[in-house]
Structure 1
Amino acid sequence: MVHCKDACNLSSEHLYWDEPQKREDKFVASGKSVSCRMCGRSFGTIHSREQHERQEHHFTASQRARMSTAFSPDTILDQRSPQLLQKFMETNLRPQMGLLRVACAEEVENLIDLIQKCCPISVTRLIKGGSYFKGTDTRSWSDIDVVIFSSSFLSIDDCKEKISSMLCGLENNLKISVMTNRILIERKASLSLRFQFKCFKDLHIHHFDVMLCYDLLGPIASQDAKRNLYRQLYNCGDDVKIQLYSISLLKYQVDFVKASTLGVKDLIRLVKHWFKTSVAKPTEANRFRRLPSSYAMELITIYVWQLAGKPIFFSLVQGLRAVLKFLVNCRDIFIIWCDHYDKNLSIVKEVLQKQTRPFILDPVNPTFNVCENSNAWDEVTHVARQSLLKPLLSGVQAKAPWLFTNNW
């Protein structure tokens, strides 16, 4: 959430309203790791893509350093004690609780009820996601995903054919609703209605993605139903249908992150803030650069915490240091969870054979390497390495239960 009085003493109109932000697409097709970040040309392998960047665009190590790093003047990395970092978390990153949070929750639920009423097709069931419902939102950013499943769609193919007109109908209905003055429609997304919502007394803003889909799995999915969905995903060559299939798994992605402890969610907020205030924005020269998604950063943070033995209480400095050291070795990243699928499943084995590093297999979708959507992991590595030299982390020694980071 963007709290204008607490965050920067500016009116909400000057924070995000009328300035739609570039937001990552949901369930984008994989393969972007092999596209040039300067011209967008695609290659068969990451190695050939990098060779092209060096030869055709003179993308040297020094140029990468200049284009990847942009520490903000008030970076948290200049803090000099764990106590100051903890205070920064509590006063600047963690959303305010109490009556404001309660009022916010009521406003969000009222809008979601309105979305259902404005939906031009019948609503079979609805699931909610995004950082707000995962509990990883910050004071400067809150995104909410709403997926509406409808029996009006007869199949995935029927959904693909009708979804554009249905989203237009929903948009038109919202524009004439009682909340129209509090909604700003953003640029069109391929499979969602994307808008900003002025929440409680216009003090903060939520970024909504509303998606419509055919209900493949139902409210309680059997293992057979999931395995059938995985097969359809793996064999599908249609990017739109891949995204529609994947939407059915959103609930399980949300539950995976949501199950983390409060400490882990604070660490996720810290990692996101580090990313936002340390990695440079793309320019015209590298406009085809694609940074890792926030979901990828969430999964990495959770994995590193799990390596530490899932401590309930821990130092944010030690946790951040561990995540950054992990990112320094991006090319060695290999992460797989087996909560929703068996690693011996034939599809999983086939995906593992095709793996490229870094590799993070989505914990609920064994056909999707979450890292594949980025072609700038080398830049993330550089920024992480430079961040470890900053006052907050320079000279910090690993303490239990983070001693395993000494091997990185």
Structure 2
Amino acid sequence: MSHGGNSESLGIAAKDLDRFIQDHLKPNPQFQKQVSKAIDVILGCLRENCVYKASRVSKGGSFGRGTDLRGGCDAELVIFLNCFHDYKDQRARRTEILNEMQAQLETCWQDPDSGLSLRFPDQTVTRALQLQLVSTALESWMDVTLLPVFDAVGEGGLQPVPWRLIPLLAMLHSLGCQGSEHATCFSELRRDFVNTRPTKLKSLILLVKHWYRQPACAALPPVYALELLTIFAWEQGCGKESFKMAEGLKTVLELVQQHQQLCVYWTVNYSFEDPDSRTHLLGQLQKKRPLVLDPADPTWNVGQGSWELLAQEAAALGTQACLRSREGVSVQPWNVMVRGGVPGVADAVGPPPPVAFPCWCNVFSCWEHTLLSP
């Protein structure tokens, strides 16, 4: 999409934002029903015809998290296969299995009375099979990624309890895990962290994503980082299921403009009480900003990417009608508290120092601060 459309696309009154989200951003219910049925058909086809059997499937992406926008969205289907004995086996057999999956889908797919077509775009991800579900009539599409993976943690996946991070990573490493291959183990935790949020908060996420998706720039941080930043802003500044949408949007935009100070993390799945986990997390929290740690997998800094363009667009949107009252007064953001200093340094404890803008970005004193569990 073309750069520069952010401000114009939200040139509506602040009082009309909720209606704008309902009428233009929330996904078409008919399309959601269609793709849900189509995904079941795809998985059924693979289950019945593919020689490689799955122990379970995790449905993620924006579709699984409940943050899918009208028009275009994505779904990630992590398929845990019984045939893999470890990660080395997964790497050795992955291409063969991906080819088998595509062949089966091309053979058995028939439009399941849903008005959808199944397309296979150029495959740009070596670890996955990419396909697209398209509804011409509804002007909607969904990018679907199939990921056949080794089930390292067993049936049921990781449960939402505080894990001892280092022993878990050591276990995965002993099974031949390399690089980011462990990420699929956390797919359910990642999905549920967002999907269980209040409906209006997810509506705010849709609004932020609508603003975010206007500029075409591959170097931007992933949209998932904006989802997490929106949740963080709501947790720290509001926490209520009823709020003014303009205030929430203004808060997120202020945080984007202060990206050089961003340090966002959660301890809902990993605790500082475990010494090894604490040491690892403290090391992460002292890295260069912006830092937005995945709440499911704190080895992943989701905040990597170029924030400068987003910051410019955020500043431009601040002058628009959607962030002003009927009288033309600028909407005030929520107070998101800031704590000075570097994590682990004693003089970081105490009242926050004065800062230049009312929606404060946080540089946490991590031994003192724990975010609210979702």
- With structure 2 as the length reference, what TM-score do the two structures score? 0.78
Counterparts in 2 of 1:284-323, with a 5 A limit? 289-323=218-252
Give the drift of 1:232: 5.7
Aligned to 2:128: 192
Kindly report which structure 2 residues correspond to 1:252-271, keeping only aligned pairs within 5 A, or say none.
Answer: 252-271=189-208
Of 343-352 and 298-307, deviating more is 343-352
Report the CA distance shift for 1:264/1:73 in structure 2 as closer, same or farther (over 3 A). Answer: closer
Q: Which amino acid aligns with 1:153?
A: F
Letter in 1 for 2:183: S
What CA distance in whole angstroms lies between the structure 2 residues aligned with 1:165 and 1:133?
27
Matches within 5 A, 1:5-404: 70-71=4-5, 74-76=8-10, 78-79=11-12, 81-97=13-29, 101-179=32-110, 182-188=117-123, 189-198=125-134, 204-218=140-154, 219-221=156-158, 227-231=166-170, 241-277=178-214, 279=215, 281-282=216-217, 289-345=218-274, 346-354=276-284, 355-372=287-304, 374=305, 376-393=306-323, 395-398=329-332
Distance 1:396 1:231, change over 3 A: farther
Compare relative contact order (CA 8 Å, sep 6+) and give the higher one, 1 or 2: 1
Give the whole-Å Cα distance in 2 for the aligned partners of 1:343 and 1:119.
44
Q: How far is the alpha carbon of 1:199 from its aligned partner?
A: 5.3
Q: Which letter maps to 1:292?
A: P
Q: Distance in 2 between matches of 1:397 and 1:137?
A: 27
Q: CA 1:391/1:202 → structure 2, altered by over 3 Å: closer, same or farther?
A: closer
SS for the counterpart of 1:371 is: coil
SS in 1 for 2:239: coil
Does the aligned pair in 1 maintain the 2:121–2:130 contact within 8 Å?
Answer: yes
In the alignment, the residues of structure 2 paired with residue 178 and residue 362 of structure 1 have an alpha-carbon distance, to the nearest angstrom, of 36
The 1:118/1:329 distance shift into structure 2, 3 A limit, reads farther
How far apart are residue 183 of structure 1 and its match?
A: 1.5
Secondary structure of the corresponding residue to residue 194 of structure 2: helix
Secondary structure of 1:300's counterpart equals helix
Matched residue of 2:131: which SS? Answer: strand
8 Å contact from structure 2 (residues 7, 320) kept in 1: no
Q: Secondary structure at the match of 2:178?
A: helix
The 3 A distance-change label for structure 1 pair 109 and 402 is farther
Determine whether 1:406 maps to 2:358: yes
Post-superposition shift, 1:150?
Answer: 1.3
Question: Aligned-pair distance for 1:87?
Answer: 1.9
C-alpha separation in 2, matches of 1:211 and 1:104 = 18
Assess, with a 3 A threshold, how the Cα gap between structure 1 residues 201 and 378 changes in structure 2: closer, same or farther.
closer
* TM superposition score normalised by structure 1: 0.72
Question: Would you say the 8 A contact 2:165–2:277 is kept in 1?
Answer: no
* Structure 1 position 72, deviation (Å): 5.3
Could you tell me whether the CA contact under 8 Å between 2:7 and 2:316 is conserved in 1?
A: no
Query: Which secondary structure does the structure 1 equivalent of 2:129 belong to?
Result: strand
* Alignment RMSD (CA, Å): 2.9
Counterparts of 1:73 and 1:364 in 2: how far apart (Å)?
A: 33
Give aligned pairs, total. Answer: 325
Displacement of 1:347:
4.2
Structure 1 residues without counterparts, runs of 5 or longer: 1-20, 22-67, 283-288
Secondary structure at the counterpart of residue 147 of structure 2: strand
Say which structure is richer in helix. 1
Q: Mark the CA change 1:72 to 1:309 in structure 2 (over 3 Å): closer, same or farther.
A: closer
**Does the CA contact (< 8 Å) of 2:31 and 2:138 recur in 1?**
no
Any conservation in 2 of the 1:347–1:366 contact (CA below 8 Å)? no
